[in-house]
Structure 1
Amino acid sequence: MKEGDDDDTKSPNIDSTWKDLYRIAAFAAATIVILIPVQILIFVISPPPRTAADFFLLFQNNALLGLSSLDLLFLVDYVLLIPKF
């Protein structure tokens, strides 16, 4: 084979129109890899309340922690999965 010939070991040429989508998907995947351990850490440090009254009390004290207890970060993860598929 000559040096200029294409063979199967080289990576395929990526269409430049898809390049931005690949970058967005890579960013989304990296963000998900970071957010899932953060969500697990939140559940370990502050387990979700057991009753509805405790949820209301948690929301009064700390709204962000209350939303995190209701899987806010997992919802963000699911939205970030859209560019991947």
Structure 2
Amino acid sequence: MVLIDGKKVSAEIRNRLTKETAELKSKTGRMPGLATVLVGEDPASAVYVRNKNKICHEVGFQSFEQNLPAETTEAQLMDLI
């Protein structure tokens, strides 16, 4: 059995992403980004999105979050996307 140190792997990936993001920004003047759309008020989903936004900021990504009410229709969601 092989044990994987998830925290170590995560740190390595974040370090690599931080460097690659800085290189991309210096070469192109643009930053990658992540857009999230949260429909409704599910606490677990809110934590997931918050964690993704935190990681984005740590590695130099932009993050864009849009929160919509649970009553949002599929058509409204598609218009946003």
TM over 0.5: no
Structure with the bigger percentage of strand: 2
Structure with the bigger percentage of helix: 1
TM-score (structure 1 length as normaliser): 0.34
